[in-house]
Amino acid sequence: MRRRWIADEVTGDAAALVGEHAAHLARVLRAQVGQEFDIATGDEVRRGTITTISYERVEFALGAKPYRKLSIDPSAVPKLTLALAIFKFDRMEWAIEKCTEIGVTRIIPIIARRTDAHLAAAAANRHDRWRRLILQASEQSRRAAPPELAATVKLKDLAAEAVLPAEGPTRIVLNESLAESADEIRLTEALQTSSLTSEVLLAIGPEGGWTDSEITWFHDERWIAASLGNTILRAETAAIVATALAIDALR
């Protein structure tokens, strides 16, 4: 199976990788002119043959016929936005990578009350790294395109940031404090509700969970509060499990 790359530029029967994307193929993988790869161009995958290569730019000649058509009914594609509260970067980045592989379509980093101040301050400088991780995970998992990475926002600005279609998504917040309580609803139940739309916005809290005031905010915004059961999971585990359950429910 040929390795897949998501093209940075496409013009007719030519495509290119640029910048660090090209450097990885040229410097790390030591690709050569004439090598063939699968190139995702947005709505299809075509066989690409390297015509020129440098550390700054790799150009491909694309095969005349699509290797695989990717255009399908947009309504059939699972649409999951993951609002992920910022926590320790190494574990958060592992969650971002795995949720990308599973199929999340948008990621919004959130500054929550329990987000460490130094992590919140450093988040903006991590965006380029997160985009690279997302692109690499998308190519590794053979996605046609990477998920969108939104700008980091504070929780109170999430409603304004997550502008979605008029009918709105199903909004679910994981609230582990519900575990073993009379008000508990499992995420699987929330995803089986008859009011489930074709798009889900899923909010995952930081280590230590959401504060009481944040839970009140979610209640005011008419979110569905759900838990993953009696076992309290680390933030990255919760994000991955919840993403997998939501993608499965949307298919």
Residue 179, strand partner residues: none
Residue 200, strand partner residues: 80, 170
Q: Which of 45-54, 89-98, 160-169, 222-231 has the lowest mean pLDDT?
A: 160-169
- Asked whether the predicted pLDDT for residue 69 surpasses 90, the reply is no
54 and 66 in contact (C-beta within 8 Å)? Answer: no
What percent of the chain stands above pLDDT 90?
Answer: 55
- Asked whether the predicted pLDDT for residue 132 surpasses 50, the reply is yes
Question: Where do the domains of the chain lie, and which CATH numbers do they carry?
Answer: 4-69 (2.40.240.20), 74-250 (3.40.1280.10)
pLDDT tens for 178-220 read 655 556 788 998 888 756 777 899 999 998 889 989 988 888 7
Residue 139, Ramachandran bin (φ over 0: left; ψ between -120 and 50: alpha; else beta): alpha
- Of the CA atoms within 13 Å of residue 111, those in its CB half-sphere come to 15
66 and 113 in contact (C-beta within 8 Å)? Answer: no
pLDDT tens for 18-59 read 998 999 899 888 999 999 999 998 778 889 999 999 999 999
Q: SS in 3 state form for 19-67?
A: HHHHHHHHHHCCCCCCCEEEEECCCEEEEEEEEEECCCEEEEEECCCCC
Which residue, chain included where needed, has tokens 């993403």?
243
Residue 115 per-residue DSSP state = S
For residue 23, count other CB atoms closer than 10 A to its CB.
16
- Residue 144 in tokens: 């046609």
